[in-house]
Amino acid sequence: MRFVIIRTLRAFLTIWGVITLTFIATRIAGNPIDNFAPEGLSNEEYNYLMEYFGLNESYFVQYVSYFKGIIEGNFGFSYFSFQPVTEVFFSKLPNTLALFGYAFLVSLIIGIPLGIYAAIYRNSILTTFIMALAFTGYAIPNYILAIFAILLFSFTLHLLPTVGLETPYHYIMPVGCLAMSMLAGKIRYSRSAMLDVLNEDYIRTARSKGLSERIVIFKHAFRNASMPIVSILGLQIAGFIAAVVLVEAVFAIDGIGNLIVKAAIFSNYPILQYGVMLWGSIVVLATLLVDLTYALLDPRIRVN
């Protein structure tokens, strides 16, 4: 119990740290209004904007009210559209979620069986091919992959559209590029998790009992390997904001990634702050969940 409390407290302290650092970062360079206000803004309008976004208060007051807002579920307003940032985010979320969800699913369905295969048949030719695929997915940045894909499938073969997400065909390339970079990790992790398990004594015992290889692999080995695989998947989800940002940029998809990049270009801090906070919280909570599940299953961790 003590472990759970300390671990949870630490997680919330981390989220607080992320929020505070973003706040400091966005205030350190001076008044955000100066960055985007058009030339020839009258004093009156300027003051109105300052007041509207609460920027005329001292930093401390701003910080406190920002925190109050977060607790109440008010995350501030976009400097441009004056909409609440949550509204802006949720309007873009479906595209990103669809893209990400499909890519995750595709990489899961392809990656894990390939990883398991590579662990079982360590010296087959197909395994060499699978590991080469994993290395390629890991080494080629997905925006470069996307460019090559567009060049091949759109401009040379004229098979697929290049921008947007209107029809199912539009999904093929962005989902494929995103899946490719996720695939690498899945193949490597499921392979190494399976390899670890296959060396255990109980696998030898199961084999010596005369069980069929299929039962040994799927009932004994895979069940035991699935725990580390699942935990890695949880952490992997958290790490993919960069990939999403780039894929959305290449295929001009109107999602969270493009929203954040535009916010960065136009200094729309409330959007950026919310994005960073959201993503940071997802990472922290995913890690927390993994840690707690492990502690639940493995008493040794609780003691240390």
Partner 1 sequence: MFSILNNSELVKKFKKSDLIIKGGLFLLFFLILVAIFAPILAPYDPNSTSLLARLRPPLGFEKFKVGFLLGTDELGRDMLSRLIYGLRFTLFIALVGSLISMTIGTLIGVISGYVGGIIDNIFMMLVDIQIAFPGTLMALLLISVFGSSITILIFVVGISGWENYARVVRGQVIQIKNEPYVSAAQVAGAKPRRIILLHMLPNIASPIIVLYTFGISNIILLESSLSFLGLGIQPPTATLGSMTGLGRDFLSSYPHICVLPAIVILLIALVFLLLGDWLRDSLDVRLQRK
Residues in the site for partner 1, rule: CB under 8 A?
10, 13-15, 17-18, 21-22, 25-26, 28-29, 138-141, 143-144, 147-148, 150-151, 154-155, 235, 239, 241-242, 245-246, 249-250, 260-261, 263-265, 267, 269, 272, 275-276, 279-281, 283-284, 287
In the complex with partner 1, the residue whose CB is nearer, 217 or 243, is 243
Q: Contact 247/175 with Cβ under 8 angstroms?
A: no
Handedness of CA 97, 239, 304, 5 (dihedral sign): negative
Q: How many CA atoms lie within 13 A of 260 on its CB side?
A: 23
The DSSP annotation for 236-284 comes to: HHHTTHHHHHHHHHHTT--SHHHHHHHHHHTT-HHHHHHHHHHHHHHHH
In the complex with partner 1, the residue whose CB is nearer, 49 or 272, is 272
Between 148 and 169, whose beta carbon lies closer to partner 1? 148
Return the closest-CA partner of residue 174 out of 255, 284, 271, 83.
Answer: 255
47-76: b or e for each residue (b if 16 or more CB lie within 10 Å)?
eebbeebeeeeeeeebbeebeeebeeeebb
Nearer to partner 1, 26 or 74 (CB): 26
Query: Could you tell me the smallest distance in angstroms from the CB atom of residue 12 to partner 1?
Result: 11
Nearer to partner 1, 100 or 220 (CB): 100
**Is the Cβ of residue 107 or residue 273 nearer to partner 1 in the bound state?**
273
Query: Closest CB to partner 1 among 79 and 217?
Result: 79
Question: Rounded to the nearest whole angstrom, what is the least distance from the CB of residue 299 to partner 1 in the complex?
Answer: 22
Of 197, 206, 233, which Cα lies nearest the Cα of 120? 197
The smaller minimum CB distance to partner 1, of residues 217 and 260, is found at 260
CA distances 168 to 6, 142, 159, 171, Å, are 46, 20, 13, 5
Contact 103, 182 (CB under 8 A): yes
Least distance between partner 1 and beta carbon 258 (Å): 10
Alpha carbon distance 90, 92 (integer Å): 5
CA distance 98 to 167: 13
End-to-end Cα spacing for the chain: 13
- Give the shortest CB-90-to-partner 1 separation in angstroms: 19
Residues 230, 231, 233, 235, Cα dihedral to 10°:
170
Least distance from partner 1 to the Cβ atom of residue 86, Å: 18
Closest contact distance (angstroms) between CB of 269 and partner 1 is 8
CB of 163 to partner 1, least distance (A): 11
Least distance between partner 1 and beta carbon 147 (Å): 6
